[in-house]
Structure 1
């Protein structure tokens, strides 16, 4: 176990990014089509092909998931992932037609200082293709892929991953793009709110502060008092090797929102 999404057999992850644009894309590729469902809580979602994930609809399985920066422009990343899969002959078959199924979601990173004057077409389709082509079992964390342009109220955001095994041997893993409206640290740091869940010193082993001051507990909002709730998004994917129906996957997605 590497504490990564790819601890689930048959899952590969690839990143691509554009430093000038300060944004990027992450592709999660399934070696075999996977049962999938979605739960959306945000009031301003940016998603692609999620109607297919409704439990009432026909398509049961997906070939890949595209996560991207770029707000609505980043939805083009799914087309790039789809193009790569089509080259591999992957997809949902309707007689002689083959259509790769690639749902996706985006984060809002358009105000992070990168050069977004990309001309007529955004770079995200090409970024999606590159991410899919690079997918493997080892992948970077932090300011890469869909997390390249992510921010929080106090520190740079990014992409993270974790995995675990239940007492009866079922593996569960997650990958998250953290572009949160709030702060991941207690005050200005160096303590992380997630310290109780730290594994192997991944946050520096600092734990929580010995005491909490009013300043540490004060709300910190990205962009300050004039910020819009549309300036943040946190998206991700949970994968398990448990055998689930589409309806059960939907319930798992709902439960995962609590985490």
Structure 2
């Protein structure tokens, strides 16, 4: 297996990602969108999630597809990013048709970045506008690190960020991951080597290799429990909503590989899984097995890349990983 040409979630043909951020507030929003609705499932394994419209993604619910997905900073305020995106999509005629009404389906998840040194003393919630700006920015190419929902992300010892990765399977299917890393834990036990190193491809987050020694101490965590890592995994395989839900569940293994500790009571760790329904499965059992494995592997790599690409900003409370210049 190897990466797609961009090593981004947009290697899944038809997907676009848009970022918008405000570095004065140290926060932002990210949207994933496609020309056609996406079959979607979700799995929540953290103890403190913040979400919008995730209940309807259960396989027994009426609506099986979504028009966009949103990852955002801002805690509960950040859920308003999806409102701006829904309004914009409705103006474009996108959405679930009910009688003479068109209602865009835009599930979202948020992370807590309210105490990261940014100026949060706003009079008007900024996230609706950030959502619209992210949608207008949507493209196959996008920046990693301190952008979008990763603009104000932090971890125990360093800044977090927005990460992405992709993989092409022998079956011809493509899998990608997009993540905003804002964990209570950390992606490295020593400030240099990544927990995700065994799954690294072509030195994509520094090529420093596996952790060279056993870690005996308890892992580092934030002094305050204001966190959450939120992600999307995507594929071009034709999947049902139930199969997408299973892929989202499997992808959480990648989060546990890359962040220690993960899925804590103080994280809202969540993974959406989407399918563009472009390439049929040839062997349902084997293909879905490998799609789940690839989703977990891509997510682990994307998490490391998000931290690796973080960049310094005025007023930061934590340093960045400086691997790119070392």
TM > 0.5: yes
Determine the structure 2 residue equivalent to 1:108: 112
Gaps of 5+ in 1: none
Secondary structure class of the residue paired with 1:39? strand
Please state how far the C-alpha of 1:37 moved relative to its aligned partner: 1.1
What is the TM-score of this pair, normalised by structure 1? 0.93
In the alignment, the residues of structure 2 paired with residue 206 and residue 249 of structure 1 have an alpha-carbon distance, to the nearest angstrom, of 33
2:28 maps to which of 18, 24, 31: 24
Please state how far the C-alpha of 1:239 moved relative to its aligned partner: 0.6
2:246 maps to which of 251, 256, 259: 251
In the alignment, the residues of structure 1 paired with residue 46 and residue 189 of structure 2 have an alpha-carbon distance, to the nearest angstrom, of 24
Q: Within 5 Å, which residues of 2 pair with 1:114-129?
A: 114-119=118-123, 121-129=124-132
The superposition leaves residues 51-97 of structure 1 with CA deviations (integer Å, 9 ceiling, x where unpaired) of 22111211111000011000111000101111221221111112321
Please state how far the C-alpha of 1:212 moved relative to its aligned partner: 4.4
Contact kept? 1:25, 1:124, Cα under 8 Å: yes
Secondary structure class of the residue paired with 2:88? helix
Contact kept? 2:189, 2:215, Cα under 8 Å: no
In the alignment, the residues of structure 2 paired with residue 250 and residue 191 of structure 1 have an alpha-carbon distance, to the nearest angstrom, of 32
Contact kept? 2:194, 2:211, Cα under 8 Å: no
Secondary structure class of the residue paired with 2:78? helix
1:185 maps to which of 177, 182, 188: 188
1:8 equivalenced with 2:3 (yes/no): no
Contact kept? 1:71, 1:109, Cα under 8 Å: yes
Secondary structure class of the residue paired with 1:233? coil
In the alignment, the residues of structure 1 paired with residue 145 and residue 112 of structure 2 have an alpha-carbon distance, to the nearest angstrom, of 17
1:76 equivalenced with 2:43 (yes/no): no
Q: How many pairs align?
A: 250
In the alignment, the residues of structure 2 paired with residue 72 and residue 141 of structure 1 have an alpha-carbon distance, to the nearest angstrom, of 23
Gaps of 5+ in 2: 255-326
Please state how far the C-alpha of 1:251 moved relative to its aligned partner: 1.2
Please state how far the C-alpha of 1:124 moved relative to its aligned partner: 0.3
Determine the structure 1 residue equivalent to 2:296: none
Q: Within 5 Å, which residues of 2 pair with 1:1-259?
A: 1=4, 2-119=6-123, 121-187=124-190, 189-212=191-214, 214=216, 217-223=217-223, 227-228=224-225, 231-259=226-254
RMSD of aligned residue pairs (Cα, Å) = 1.3
The superposition leaves residues 195-246 of structure 1 with CA deviations (integer Å, 9 ceiling, x where unpaired) of 22222222222213543465xx4421112xxx33xx1100100111111111
What is the TM-score of this pair, normalised by structure 2? 0.74
Contact kept? 1:84, 1:133, Cα under 8 Å: no
Secondary structure class of the residue paired with 1:9? coil
Please state how far the C-alpha of 1:194 moved relative to its aligned partner: 1.6
In the alignment, the residues of structure 1 paired with residue 175 and residue 212 of structure 2 have an alpha-carbon distance, to the nearest angstrom, of 33
Determine the structure 1 residue equivalent to 2:287: none
In the alignment, the residues of structure 2 paired with residue 81 and residue 17 of structure 1 have an alpha-carbon distance, to the nearest angstrom, of 15
Secondary structure class of the residue paired with 2:170? coil
Secondary structure class of the residue paired with 2:229? strand
